[in-house]
Structure 1
Amino acid sequence: MKKPLTIKDIAELANVSIATVSRVLNNNSWVSDKTREKVQKVIDEHHFSPNLMARSMISRKSMTLAVVVSDITSPYFATLVEQIEKACQQAGYKIVLFDTQSANKRSESSLVIAEDQIFSTIIDSQLDGVIILGGNIDYLNIPEGYLEGLQKLIATLPVIVVGRKLAHYGYTCLQRDQVNCVKMITGYLLEKGHRDIAFIGGSPGVYMTGQRVNAFRETLQQAGIAAENAQVIETNFYAQHGYEAIKKLLASGRALPQALLAINDRVAMGAIRALKDNGISVPENIAVASCECFPGSEYYVPRLTTVDHQNNVLGQHVIQQMMTLLQDMLPESPAIPPLFVAGESA
């Protein structure tokens, strides 16, 4: 009885790598038409029909990626994971999601899972690569245990981080533009004639907050406004923290600013609710804008003036980079420009 062909045999007959055959079999969009036709011709001629288990055994790949996220309930992380999963499916991969719940610091400490423990689980699970979205890597003070776990992870698997780049750690990093998004929206408020602008939301312990606050102050300074006099109320990243920021603002005894710049749409929504509860109308009495658009904001009343970071494009780039890493090549890190979204709130 003739021995059935394997993926390795198909690769040799088509004069391509095993990884390329795997991508063709999984209908991966990152294979050229010419290469796809060459491989498919061999597959058709030999009536080759592999199953997933055989494919994994031959290629030594699980065709599965780990995605570590610090709070899947956050609209930013939820939409980005959705885009990553779609891109993974196109590439013939699956994802395993690890949600640490570390972004929204909660009183139920049992909900928070140590990320270094997750890294150990991933190493033991024989996955093909890891995508890290936020978490301890974005904090100014990073636990030593996390750094040790990250180093072990990098030594074992291809790692992509969407967020902060740490010196002396060899992972691929895709950094979002945290500066121009703020300059764009602050500049818009200034063009509307607002000179007294307050910044709300974010956390002083998070690297990204510092980037956005510094960009805010720098834009004011360039406009001839004393940035040190601008109010900055750092609470956190969720709707309730926008509400808390307004309570602090009203309790400060200072006059209400002409405009508010929220760190993201959820904080802006919480702020608008708090303003309304205190008889203050948006945008009639005060303008409110946001540094980061979340899905559904276009249905809010009023529609938010905000910035789109193009998470759909970001998710595609993440998987393109991972596919490149899995071929033992260094990926490029393209810039994804933020886009201004005109609304009714400012």
Structure 2
Amino acid sequence: MKKPITIKEIATLSGVSIATVSRVLNNNSWVSDKTRAKVTQVIDENNFSPNLIARGMVSKKTRTLAVVVSDITNPYFVMLVAQIESECLNIGYKITLFDTQSANKNKSAYTADIEESIFNTIIDSQIDGVIILGGNIDYIDIPEGYVQALQQLIETVPVVVVGRAVKHLNYTCVERDQTKSVTQITDYLIKRGHRRIGFVGGSPNVYVTKERVAEFKKKMASSGIPVNENLIVMSNFYLKNGYEAACAIIQNETELPEALIAINDQVAMGAIRAFKDNNIAIPQDISIVSCEYFPGSEYYIPRITSVDHQMPLIGRAALDRMLHLLGASNLAPALDEIEPKLIAGESCA
């Protein structure tokens, strides 16, 4: 994909000076109609935004970052955005939040158009850099239109993605380890004597789910424990998905699992509610644990045994990398791994 044209290139193609192009962009009356038409034609032929050209004409930074999330109601995104915004306020930066609202929808009911439109809006705005948290980048099969829009964004402003690195796209990535939390929580159950273990939550179209389920199966196999595929129920990452998954297991299985691993605390809460509604006690009748801690679950009854991914550190790492790209930090961002920590609660016998 062609890189955005610069004001200098517009001047060369038009056969005029940079100052003349600037006057045309600012609608200055000192430019003849003939010259204005010539410059305007070059701009139109290159499908270029005046705002983007204006960005190239000045070196002044706006100290504003865009943060793109796929569902701000999801505690995962809330934690990251809160940390990024807090760090930005401390150093005099502002954030503009774009919420695509795509995460809590079926893929068939959602297209990449929303995110493409947001990327184009960012390109046409005075934004210094973009931090992307989730969205189409998280799908196993990324829509081609999204890839093209993201590539254009990368060629325009610095981009940091929290989550997944895609080889042919040149952005800075803060990769979360999606397997250690699963290894920790599965090992915790096995050491407590559980053998008939299931896994609930997560979308089968999302790479996070694929990696976590694969690690669950790998850990079970290495421990010599067979996996019952009927006890793996995937749909999405929310409360109702945990509830529906637990109900499906209750209805379809003659024997309950000894324990269930939920992809996150919200799914765990939904599953616990479903078992309680069916007079199945937690943890006396079945243990429920989670791969990912969300703030507030320690006040749930029972407190959920979960894994803390240390999201504040991940949010800080994302901003550190962005500041490094912007030249606001002379030091390369630390690449030390952020280790997840197991939190023992009351939901596991």
Q: Do the two structures share a fold, i.e. TM-score over 0.5?
A: yes
2:81 match: secondary structure: helix
Give the secondary structure class of the aligned counterpart of 1:227. Answer: coil
Kept in 2, the 8 Å contact 1:325–1:331? The answer is no
For 1:97 and 1:72, locate their aligned partners in 2 and report how far apart those are by CA, in whole Å: 9
What is residue 275 of structure 1 aligned with on the other side? 275
Question: 2:341 maps to which residue?
Answer: 339
Equivalent-residue separation in structure 2 for 1:148 and 1:345 (angstroms): 45
Would the aligned equivalents of 2:132 and 2:160 in 1 still touch at CA under 8 Å?
Answer: yes
The aligned amino acid for 1:231 is L
Contact 1:101 1:113 in 2 (8 A): no
The equivalent of 2:127 in structure 1 is 127
* Residues 1:163 and 2:170 are matched in the alignment: no
The CA deviation at 1:228 is 5.5
Deviation at 1:145, TM superposition (A): 1.0
Write the distance in 2 (CA, Å) between the matches of 1:112 and 1:302. 39
What is the Cα-based RMSD across aligned positions, in Å? 2.1
> 2:223 and 2:236 mapped to 1: Cα distance?
27
Cα pair 2:197 2:227 within 8 Å, conserved = no
- SS of the aligned residue for 2:307 comes to strand
- C-alpha distance after superposition, 1:192-240 (max 9, x if no partner): 1000000000010000000000110011011101235572100210000
Equivalence for 2:91: 91
Gaps of 5+ in 1: 1-56
Shift of 1:156: 0.6
Corresponding position of 1:195: 195
Report the CA distance between 1:308 and its aligned residue. Answer: 0.3
Q: How does 1:67-82 map to 2 (within 5 A)?
A: 67-82=67-82
Report the alpha carbon displacement of residue 289 of structure 1 after superposing the two structures with TM: 0.1
Paired residue secondary structure (2:155)? helix
- Partner in structure 2 of residue 305 of structure 1: 305
CA distance in 1, matches of 2:250, 2:297: 25
* Cα distance per residue 1:57-97 (max 9 Å; x no partner): 98510100000000000001011100010111122110000
CA distances 1:275-318 after superposition (whole Å, capped 9, x unpaired): 00000000000000000000100000000000001011111111
Distance 2:58 2:172 in 1: 27
Find the aligned partners of 1:262 and 1:285 in 2 and give their Cα distance.
Answer: 16
Change (3 A) 1:120 1:311: same
Whole-angstrom distance in 2 between the partners of 1:166 and 1:229: 29
User: Could you tell me how far apart the structure 2 residues matched to 1:113 and 1:158 are?
Assistant: 21
Structure 2: runs of 5 or more not aligned: 1-56
Greater Cα shift, 309-318 or 237-246: 309-318
Which residue in the other structure is 1:250 paired with? 250
Which residue in the other structure is 2:144 paired with?
144
Query: Distance in 1 between the 2:314 and 2:105 partners?
Result: 26
- 3-state SS of 2:80 partner: helix
After TM superposition, the score normalised by the length of structure 2 is 0.79
CA displacement at 1:335 relative to structure 2: 1.5
CA distance in 1, matches of 2:110, 2:233: 29
Task: Find the residue that maps to 2:92 and give its secondary structure.
Answer: coil
Task: Indicate how the Cα distance of structure 1 residues 210 and 316 shifts in structure 2: closer, same or farther if over 3 A, else same.
Answer: same
- Aligned AA (2:269): M
Using the TM superposition, give the Cα deviation of residue 257 of structure 1 relative to its aligned residue in structure 2, in angstroms. Answer: 0.4
TM-score normalised according to structure 1 size: 0.80
Q: In structure 2, what is the equivalent of residue 235 of structure 1? A: 235
Equivalenced residue count is 290
Instruction: Provide the C-alpha distance between the structure 1 equivalents of 2:341 and 2:59, rounded to a whole number of angstroms.
Output: 41
Q: CA deviation at 1:113?
A: 6.5
In the aligned structure 2, how far is the partner of 1:74 from the partner of 1:117?
22
Corresponding residue for 1:14? none
Percentage of identical aligned residues? 55
Match of 1:18 in 2: none
Relative to structure 1, is the Cα distance of residues 112 and 156 closer, same or farther in structure 2, using a 3 angstrom cutoff?
closer
Q: Is the 8 A contact 1:102 1:112 kept in 2?
A: no
SS in structure 2 of the partner of residue 302 of structure 1: coil
Q: Which amino acid aligns with 1:234?
A: M
Q: Deviations over 1:44-69 (max 9, x none)?
A: xxxxxxxxxxxxx9851010000000
Report the Cα offset of residue 168 of structure 1: 1.2
CA contact (8 A) 1:67 1:131 kept: yes
Matched, 1:205 2:205: yes
Q: In structure 2, how many angstroms separate the alpha carbons of the residues matched to 1:59 and 1:140?
A: 38
The answer for the alignment partner of 1:179 in structure 2 is 179
- The offset of 1:343, in angstroms, is 0.2
**Offset, 1:333:** 3.3
